Amino acid sequence: MNIIINADDFANSMAMSETICRCFDEGMLTSTSMMINTPYVEDAFEKIRQRPSLRVSLHLNIAEGKPLADTKEIAYLVDEKGFFCKRYETILTHYYFGNVMQKKIIKSAIKAEYAAQITRYATLLGTETIHLDSHQHYHTIPFISDILIELLQELPYQITYVRVPKEPFFLELSSFRDLKNYCGLNIIKHFLLNLFSHQLARKLQAHHITCNTSFIGVLFTGNMTLASIQKALQKCHQEDLIEILLHPGFLAEAEATKWSESPFKTFYTHPHRKEEMEILLSPIFKTFIQSITGNHYAKHI
């Protein structure tokens, strides 16, 4: 069994990057996913250069922040201030219930922005091989995964790994707080992402792109616990490659004031993020992971 233990949102703020690096330096984190359309990219790349064994993926992002592509070219995705404004479900419904022209506009906008983010990431990192996932799992939407396959053929880079958020269903009710994962948005996301993940995995296999065979981090997203990880791993103990996703990075108090208008501020300042950091730094978590992997972490996949 190989396990990737990944933290999303690297480079989204200075404090988030610092916390993620701490979880790698002192804890069990093996991998991180990096946003490329933030003001903190240069600082993030310096941190990566100092940690050559930290596995890094490009965290494609059309959910928040400003784009890298020309806003005229991707007008569908941004508001009047030039910020990304389309939610996962909005893009999903606009595309599949839209007419031919609407479909063309949406697809063209996403393809242009993804191409710009992939190109900038590859250029700054100085690499031709790229691991990919996406903020809010947008890349799982079938027409968007088709865009990634098209870009694979058109760009001079090799996509070597793509995250597939296919998570086994499990029950973990150690506390009342756990119950909300089965009564709200997370259970819907779990069902939908599993549905789309089967299609995504088939496409990746057809194009000889590596992906994880199982995933942990949807049902308890924003509320990951050691017990939930343990229970989920029991369900996928026979899988070859498992990716565990946590969100340990959080905004520092000084940073939070700059995010006053961001709809993501509540998520980035929530106490659960510090709890997920504590999981990664926990000796109990370290002992548990080592006991089931024999120290075979998938740092270089």
The residue behind tokens 């959080």 is: 250
Distance CA 119, CA 131 (A): 13
C-alpha triplet 37, 218, 109: angle, nearest 5°:
35
What does the pLDDT profile of the chain (301 residues) look like in tens digits? Answer: 799 999 999 999 999 999 999 999 999 999 999 999 999 999 999 999 999 999 999 999 999 999 999 999 999 999 999 999 999 999 999 999 999 999 999 999 999 999 999 999 999 999 999 999 999 999 999 999 999 999 999 999 999 999 999 999 999 998 888 998 999 899 999 999 999 999 999 999 999 999 999 999 999 998 999 999 999 999 987 778 999 999 999 999 888 888 877 888 888 999 999 999 999 999 999 999 988 877 655 444 4
Measuring CA to CA, which residue among 209, 66, 58 is closest to residue 135? 58
Give the pair of three-digit tokens for residue 9.
Answer: 């949102």
The architecture in CATH of the region 2-293 reads Alpha-Beta Barrel (3.20)
Q: Which residues contact 136 (CB under 8 A, 6 or more apart)?
A: 63, 87, 88
